[in-house]
Structure 1
């Protein structure tokens, strides 16, 4: 996989690539779901790993839940998700092209992303709704992600899902 993974960003767009590149590494997550039907809010552990790819022109990430520590002894959970995100900076449009592939349910999501203030916002239309995924409160060791939906053209937003992430400690062989 030498061609797939990269050690860092392509120098020509290094500043833009840092939007997602600063997340490079492994994160432990607490994923909280806020069902629209009024069902109880529930949470699950997960992991999110980011890294540079494609000669430093993209940032890939793999999202999974539950986290490895919470998997049953069989190594598979009945409702497990493991998805791949590909984020490519488009210098002509000055935004990110984003594609998510969810392996558990066959989800494919395409969005555009851009920095708005201190946040990175990904947006798309789904039927008559607007959906946005936002990375915010990013520090060296934490970030918060939220998935929101608007049915009124963006006047109001409902929180569907959020993720609190903490950078995982380095494994002994990686130090």
Structure 2
């Protein structure tokens, strides 16, 4: 029995290593149904749901986000994320019910992974925005929406969402 348990742990760790070494699997941790919480501007906890699915023969990740409680209730959005094997780069396009549309490129380092925009002018200043997935476990992670006006040297946290896997 102990050998079986050790073997199962070994297989699970190989799967995690496979995702780290296989860029096409870098965002598989995100797939699933999630309950979301964040601190609203009024200091109260707000809630939402996010369902992340593989589509198109498992080659594309589709996100369906909805804020369900709080000041942002009714805010909805979808994203499509895909790994381009030719450029060896992840790409994401976000669209929402406020006519928002943002294009991102994926990035990775040892501690975080996410998507970043190209520089764009916002209120007369060049700004870069990014979403960061961090503190990733099987059943939870933290998602940060950040912006930078100094080319990415420093980042301002604009929105932080806590993800918990729905049961």
Residue of structure 2 equivalent to 1:53: 55
The number of residues matched between the two structures is 142
Gaps of 5+ in 2: 1-20
Distance 2:81 2:30 in 1: 12
Distance 1:48 1:84 in 2: 9
Distance 1:47 1:154, change over 3 A: same
Residue of structure 1 equivalent to 2:10: none
Point out the structure with the larger helix share: 2
Distance 1:141 1:79, change over 3 A: closer
Distance 1:141 1:150, change over 3 A: same
- Of 115, 118, 130, which aligns to 2:128? 130
- In our comparison, the structure showing a higher alpha carbon Rg is 2
Residue of structure 1 equivalent to 2:4: none
Residue of structure 1 equivalent to 2:114: 121
Distance 2:39 2:26 in 1: 24
Residue of structure 2 equivalent to 1:85: 79
Task: Using CA pairs under 8 Å that are at least 6 residues apart, name the structure with larger relative contact order, 1 or 2.
Answer: 1
- CA-atom RMSD in angstroms: 2.2
**What TM-score, normalized by structure 1, do the two folds share?**
0.73
